[in-house]
Amino acid sequence: MQRYSGFGLVKHALSHHENWQRQWRNPTPKKEYDVIIVGGGGHGLATAYYLAKEHGITNVAVIEKGWLGGGNTARNTTIVRSNYLWDESAALYEHAMKLWEGLSQDINYNVMFSQRGVLNLGHTLQDMRDIQRRVNANRLNGIDGEVLDARGVQELVPIMDCSKRARYPVMGASWQPRAGVARHDAVAWGYARGADGHGVDLLQQTEVTGFKIVDGRVVGVHTNRGDIGAKTVGCVTAGNSSVLANMAGFNLPLESHPLQALVSEPLKPILDTVVMSNHVHGYISQSDKGDLVIGAGIDGYNGYGQRGSYPTVEHTLQAIVEMFPIFSRVRMNRQWGGIVDTCPDACPILSKTPVKGLYFNCGWGTGGFKATPGSGHAFAWSLAKGQMHPLAAPFSIDRFHSGALIDEHGAAGVAH
Amino acid sequence: MFNIYCPYCEEHREEEEFHPKGQAHIQRPTDPDACSDKAWGDYLFFRDNPRGIHHELWVHAVGCRKFFNITRHTVSYAILETYKMGEQPTITAESLASEEKQGDVQVADGGLQTVGASDNSVSESKGAKV
């Protein structure tokens, strides 16, 4: 694998950038692999990368029915933060945050991780109490966070309406300076290139149609390109996880919902941080290209159609204009939906399953992107060792029968 | 935007008047105290999440405020029928599969751009039955 560097850029400029190596191969499936990852999004590719790099397991295939990073990895609003309330989730998301901080160097791919900070606004007294509690919990867990009053928010974001005139006046916010945004596609591509460089086969246009299970143990998968054997299979398929679980003969506590996002026409730099509001319910940041990236709540009905209803978009934009009257005449360029697999407690599932050798990493719901490196890292460890990583263990599917739920609806930032 | 036929109001209304409430036909265990953790957890948290025909509970929140059921396709989003509480669906994944084999029913595909717009005739005809 050619290493990317400033020197390389200059060198390739001399040949008009015509001789760059392809970022990954397009291999023919082998008969058998040690590990198969189903799902070639950010989490799946990160899992494959860390399996190869940290555990030396390189006889690995990532099976993707479409193209790499074409699902929720391409559809999220790119926000990265780790200010979750409970110890278990804070540890997992902070693990990801620490990996984000060195990710571009690690995978030799510029993921444009920009620690521009995230504001979570409070509009009511109860919001502010919850923010105090969450920031205190974060700081006890070694995660940076501050509570700001309305004036502090106004200083950070002068264009936001923090006056008392607003229908839901801003009373303050939690502020995580280390949080920010990253270039979502680059994360998938960077991990893909890194994994391929270690010998992982990335099989695109390959759809898993069933699992080969012998005596309660998975021994391979059926695909539209023939059967492929495997000792261990990890499913990282987000919105389609329930479909795959049903193929393997069990059920998951998930509902798949459309979650919509939209971007505006490109503007000159105007918003240099990420603003989220649970109460008026919208979140916004500005991409490096200049578009405002906007998201909000899920559509309440189950859906796999990667699109949602217009009233949801309308509510989102009402919230944005409520916070930023200056954006009232900005035109929206594109709008789309992704299918998020929401869990009853707004926390993911990283777990063994009733089928031996078959693992699931799903249920990230509305906030999976921020966890991509941590999720892949912990899941790779679990697949390699045959037991769940200590950070992943609390997120077992058993918690829905034992009652040990991790309720993160408050910190999830997206109502569902 | 869905155009939903409320079986109680006997009219089509816009989606914003309704709220989806998840999977339909879930029965509360008759004796919760006698439930195993497994049975209770399954009842509380585990849902069918099909990619295809889904029977779901909706409430006409700013209309008659009554709960009713919808059979809907979760990929095309086409509403196939609406029916009152206590009634059973006439369209199921199994019934569609057998009809499809005979070739006399066209199942909505995933290419619909306007959500629900072309489904009026279907839900109307079904709505009239219930």
Q: Final residue of a domain: which of A341, A362, A388?
A: A341
Whether A88 and A406 have beta carbons less than 8 Å apart is answered as yes
Q: For residue A308, is pLDDT > 90?
A: yes
| Residue A304 Cα, gap to closest chain B Cα (Å) | 5
Q: For residue B102, is pLDDT > 90?
A: no
Out of B15, B44, B45, name the one closest to residue A309 (CB). Answer: B15
Chain B residues inside the 8 Å CB shell of A255? 22, 47, 49
Per-residue pLDDT of B29-64, as tens digits, reads 999 999 999 999 999 999 999 999 999 999 999 999
Residues A371, A234, single domain; the answer is yes
Q: 3-class DSSP state for residue A49? A: helix
Residues A250, A110, single domain; the answer is no
Residues A175, A280, single domain; the answer is yes
What is the rounded distance in angstroms from the CA atom of residue B28 to the CA atom of residue B44? Answer: 9
Closest by Cα among A101, A151, A113, A108 to A9? A108
Instruction: Give one DSSP letter per residue of A263-309, joined into a string.
Output: EEEE-SS---SEEEETTTTEEEEE-TTSEEEEEEEEPSS---SS---
pLDDT of the residue at B123: 42
Instruction: Name the DSSP class of A114.
Output: B
The answer to whether residue A173 is domain-embedded is: yes
CATH number of the domain to which A408 belongs? 3.50.50.60
CATH number of the domain to which A118 belongs? 3.30.9.10
Query: Binning pLDDT at 50, 70 and 90, where does residue A381 land?
Result: very high
Query: Binning pLDDT at 50, 70 and 90, where does residue A412 land?
Result: confident
pLDDT of the residue at A415: 61
Range of the domain at A368: 27-78+184-254+345-412
Q: Under 8 Å CB-to-CB from A277, ≥6 apart: which residues?
A: A120, A121, A123, A283, A319, A323
Q: 3-class DSSP state for residue A340? A: strand
The answer to whether residue A85 is domain-embedded is: no
Residues A223, A274, single domain; the answer is no
Q: Do strands A60-63 and A201-203 pair parallel, antiparallel, or not at all (unpaired)?
A: parallel
Residues A300, A208, single domain; the answer is no
**CA distance from start to end of chain A:** 43
This model of the complex carries an ipTM of 0.91
Q: Final residue of a domain: which of A341, A357, A390?
A: A341
Please tell me if residue B44 touches chain A, with a CB cutoff of 8 Å.
yes
Range of the domain at B9: 3-123
Residue A281 region, left (φ>0) first, then alpha (ψ -120 to 50), else beta? Answer: left
Closest by Cα among A25, A64, A60 to A41? A64
Chain A residue set in contact with B, beta carbons under 8 Å: 240, 242-243, 246, 251-256, 300-305, 307, 309-311, 344, 400-403
Q: 3-class DSSP state for residue B88? A: coil
Amino acid at B79: I
Query: Binning pLDDT at 50, 70 and 90, where does residue B100 land?
Result: confident
Q: Under 8 Å CB-to-CB from A220, ≥6 apart: which residues?
A: A32, A36, A211, A212, A227, A228, A229, A230, A233
Please tell me if residue B49 touches chain A, with a CB cutoff of 8 Å.
yes
Residues A43, A118, single domain; the answer is no
Per-residue pLDDT of A4-14, as tens digits, reads 999 999 999 99
Q: What is the total count of domains within chain A?
A: 2
| Residue A307 Cα, gap to closest chain B Cα (Å) | 9
Per-residue pLDDT of A118-172, as tens digits, reads 999 999 999 999 999 999 999 999 999 999 999 999 999 999 999 999 999 999 9
Q: Which two tokens stand for residue A199?
A: 């010998």
The answer to whether residue B71 is domain-embedded is: yes
- pTM tops 0.90: yes
Out of A301, A304, A400, name the one closest to residue B45 (CB). Answer: A400
pLDDT of the residue at B96: 87
The answer to whether residue B128 is domain-embedded is: no
The answer to whether residue B80 is domain-embedded is: yes
Whether A405 and A399 have beta carbons less than 8 Å apart is answered as yes
Residues A401, A276, single domain; the answer is no
Q: Which two tokens stand for residue A26?
A: 């397009």
Going from the C-alpha of B97 to that of each of A92, B22, B101, B104, the distances in angstroms are 43, 23, 6, 11
Q: What is the total count of domains within chain B?
A: 1
